[in-house]
Amino acid sequence: MPQSDAQVNGDTDIVDPNVVDWDGPDDRENPKNWSARKKAVFIATLGFISTLSPLASSIAAPSIASIKSDFDVTDTYVGAFMISGFLIGYCCGPLIIAPLSEVYGRQALYNICGGLFLIFNIACSLAPDSGSMIVFRIFAGIGGSAPLTLGAGSVADIFPREERGAGMMLVTLGPMVGPTIGPIGMFLSFAAVAVLCTAFLMPESYAFTLLERKAKRLRRETESPSLVSVLATHRKPKDLLVFSLFRPAKMMFLSPIVFSLSVYMAVLYGYLYLLFTTFPQVFKQQYGFSQGSAGLAYIGIGVGSVVGLLFAGLVSDRLVKKLTLRNGGHYQPEYRLPPMLCGAILVPVGLFWYGWTAEKQLHWMLPIVGTAILGCGIVIVLMSTSTYLVDAFTVYAASAMAANTVTRSLVGAFLPLAGEELYQQMGLGWGNSLLGFIAFAMIPIPMIFYKYGQAIRQTKLFAIEF
């Protein structure tokens, strides 16, 4: 099972002189003891790249009609895949990135993936045909998946659990707001700046890697080969890598918590990208929007996401402190879940509102208000899920988030392919109502895990060694 926060922080009483740990609770090398300025720069950079990557996922959506024309593409599915193909990269990348980060650290993965992200986005701008465009988008997605996979774990690296909600706000902002501001200029310039920022402003933060480096340095300085990190697994590097590569899959299929929350987020993420790929056509047909004004359709989700983010960020940490105090000072990760219920209720409300106001061609602002309600609900669920998984799986948070990211990206890549057919067969009203009924059926998920989550985690049947 994952180590506790106390072990990662170095709060355990180590009596073995051969075990290397932090030099007391105030050790400045411990990322949780970084200065406020250093943490602020780190989290701001993380927020920047976490927004830039999802921005790339939808940057072509409002212009898909002209892109299809340039490439002489008439197939609807090929057009949709030029948008959602980026998410295929989100499916593949985390399966490798998360395990490697838990062996070699986060910094190296951020830098390598940032380079890949920039290179293949440049390649997309030079793509000669639709096939090349899709392939380049997939590889750009692989590079861009690093902040989504490692971001929550990086927040856990530098903040104690009672402060993670505030830190998680910027990391959660990206996957929601990024796609809504996709249609902007100077994207490649931003990507280049992001690569430089990552290289110079994001030092290593993973306790496992930092203590391994410290132990290696002390072995060299003291010529004492018996020194080992307090977090050492005592596995050979090759065995550790193989074990780590399988960890996200084990978490996905052997942990009911990871599985259920990943499926839930996959459904909501699929809804998000279904709307992104259908907004231009819906608002053109229903309201006569031109290609240039189609970007207005994305404002609602962006505004709603910011509102939901502020709500979840402000409420989460305060609620955790209150519930922990009420429980005699004993913290449970499930204290992160109550805000999720609010988000779970808002999602179907937003879908019903958007679908029927657009179906009846009421004022164009009304369906955008519906998407704002939807965006608010999704971001609350996303942030609650992320903080819960981080608190529940501590040092293996990256693998838990990898399982979550892969599942939601897989659905996000393929569900939009059915969007146009759904609306043609059922109309905007009943089509979105169908999505709303599915979301409504998932409302009990946060309530179930709030009540039974601790018991599930402590049950021997699910006490898997990750």
Sequence-distant (6+) residues with CB within 8 A of 182 are 55, 56, 57, 58, 59, 60, 61, 62, 298
Sole residue written with tokens 């989550």: 453
Question: pTM here?
Answer: 0.78
Q: What is the pLDDT of residue 91?
A: 85
H/E stretch holding 363:
none
Among 158-172, 247-261, 377-391, the range scoring the smallest mean pLDDT is 158-172
pLDDT at 302: 83
Tokens of 132: 């090349």
Distance CA 286, CA 35 (A): 53
**pLDDT score at 280:** 77
pLDDT tens digits, one per residue of 295-308: 678 888 888 988 99
**Which pLDDT score, from 0 to 100, does residue 434 have?**
96
Nearest alpha-carbon partner for 198 in 47, 392, 317, 370 = 47
H, E, C per residue of 249-312: HHHHHHCHHHHHHHHHHHHHHHHHHHHHHHHHHHHHHHHCCCCCCHHHHHHHHHHHHHHHHHHH
Summary mean pLDDT of the chain = 83
Instruction: Please compute the mean of the pLDDT values over residues 280-300 and round it to a whole number.
Output: 79
Q: What is the dihedral of CA 166, 330, 263, 274, to 10 degrees?
A: -20
Q: What is the Cα 20 distance to its own chain's centre?
A: 33
For the cut 50, the answer to whether the pLDDT of residue 1 exceeds it is no
- Taking only the tens place, the pLDDT of each residue in 346-390 is 999 999 999 999 999 999 899 999 999 999 999 999 889 988 988
Joined tokens for residue 7: 């072990």
Q: Is the pLDDT of residue 11 over 70?
A: no
Stated length of the chain? 466
Query: 241 exposed, middle or buried (CB, 10 Å; 0-12, 13-18, 19+)?
Result: middle
CA distance 152 to 50: 10
Three-class SS of 67-127: HHHHCCCCCHHHHHHHHHHHHHHHHHHHHHHHHHHHHHCHHHHHHHHHHHHHHHHHHHHCC
No. of helices (H) and no. of strands (E), the chain: 18, 2
> 228: which strand partners?
19
120-143 residue pLDDT tens: 888 887 888 888 888 988 998 999
CA-CA-CA-CA dihedral for 350, 353, 359, 364, to nearest 10 = -90
d(CA 381, CA 192): 31
* pLDDT number for residue 373: 96
Burial of 348 (0-12, 13-18, 19+ CB in 10 A): buried
Q: Quote the pLDDT of residue 260.
A: 94
Cα separation, 153 vs 109, whole angstroms: 13
- pLDDT (mean) for 394-423: 81
Q: What is the pLDDT of residue 4?
A: 45
Whether 209 and 216 have beta carbons less than 8 Å apart is answered as: no
Lowest mean pLDDT among 27-36, 166-175, 338-347, 407-416: 166-175
> Hey, how many other C-beta atoms are within 10 angstroms of the C-beta on 315?
16
C-alpha Rg value of the chain to the nearest Å? 22
Q: Which residues contact 121 (CB under 8 A, 6 or more apart)?
A: 56, 136, 140, 187, 188, 191
10 pLDDT above the threshold of 80: no
DSSP 40-69: HHHHHHHHHHHHHHHHHHHTTGGGHHHHHH
pLDDT tens for residues 411-458?
877 787 788 788 889 999 999 999 999 999 999 999 999 999 988 887
With tokens 């593409």, the residue in question is 73
The pLDDT tens digits for 95-123 are 888 888 878 889 999 999 988 888 888 88
Reported confidence tier of residue 3, pLDDT bands at 50, 70, 90: very low
Neighbours of 293 (CB within 10 A): 15
Structure tokens at 243: 């074990």
Report yes or no: 287 and 313 within 8 Å, Cβ to Cβ: no
Q: For residue 232, what are the contacts with CB-CB under 8 A and spacing of at least 6?
A: 212, 215
Domains of the chain: 34-205+246-462 (1.20.1250.20)
The secondary structure of residue 160, as a DSSP letter, is -
Q: Which residues pair with 20 in a beta bridge?
A: 229
Q: Please indicate whether residue 93 or residue 281 has the higher confidence score (pLDDT).
A: 93
